[in-house]
Amino acid sequence: MHPWNKIVTTPIALLFLYLVLGAANASADNPPEITADGLHRVHNTQMSLVYAKPGADLSQYNRIYLLEPKVAFRKNWLKTQNSIPNQTITVEDMQRIKSELATLFTEVFKTELQNNGGYVLVEGVAADVLILRPAIIDLFVISPNTPRTRGQRGAIDSTGSMTLYMDLIDSVTGDTLVKAIDNKVDLTRTRIQAPNSVRNEVAARAMLGEWAELLRLALDEARTTVSKR
């Protein structure tokens, strides 16, 4: 099995895929087999959707250029949060949460790629440099931590959910080699009376860590397969 985490594709993820791939026939039941830019769907993977350029070879990349992830909340998230009694979330709060998640994303992925994969992180182009262009979309934080929230919520079924969208790009040619998309939901029910910020960071770190490991395993597999030829 290819090292990507296979789960059910969510409608919001498919909508995003429709927008960025230009796939006119994208739907929850029938994602496109070939994207508008010629990438072919990879079946039996461990992510919701993976598309790859035919003949793409990831084994040549020993260095990684990790771009800062874009982060976007689920539509109407702010309105939903502000409908909860004793809670007020501002646009500034949203920007802070997005910034904090982007920083955490970079930290988690760099640690996994460097410490467990032995990849060198760079900020430049070369034949052995692979660009990772990530985005976190459909972010839904159930219990955000803000100065204007009175008290903390007790038992919660989940801290929230988010969807990863990532392009793997050849740094020299600019060709997109792989597109991947996956959704994760935190399902760790807890009654611990910890601050929301602690709960949210722990859950986010765990979800990001799973994605980072899957990416590292995919890159490792590509190098291992070539070395056995």
Tens of pLDDT along 30-75? 889 998 889 999 998 889 999 999 999 999 999 999 999 999 999 9
Can you give the pTM of this predicted structure? Answer: 0.83
> Domains of the chain, with CATH numbers?
55-227 (3.30.160)
| 104-119: average pLDDT | 96
Expressed in percent and rounded to 5, the helix, strand and coil fractions of the chain are 30, 25, 45
Is 169 exposed, middle or buried (CB count within 10 Å of its CB: 0-12, 13-18, 19+)?
Answer: buried
What tokens appear for 106 in the block?
């970079």
Q: By C-alpha distance, which of 184, 174, 161 is closest to 74?
A: 161
User: How confident is the model at residue 155, as a pLDDT?
Assistant: 53
Q: 3-class DSSP state for residue 63?
A: strand
Residue whose token pair is 């796939």: 23
With CA atoms as reference, report the closest residue to 48 among 101, 2, 102: 2
- How far is the CA of 222 from the CAs of 13, 58, 59, 134, 145, in angstroms? 26, 6, 5, 20, 41
Residue 147 belongs to what H/E stretch? Answer: none
Please report the pLDDT score of residue 183 as a whole number: 93
- Radius of gyration in angstroms for the set of CA atoms belonging to the chain, rounded to a whole number: 19
pLDDT reading at 177 higher than 80: yes
Q: Is 84 helix (H, G, I), strand (E, B) or coil?
A: coil
Q: What is the mean pLDDT of the chain?
A: 82
Give the single-character DSSP code of 34: B
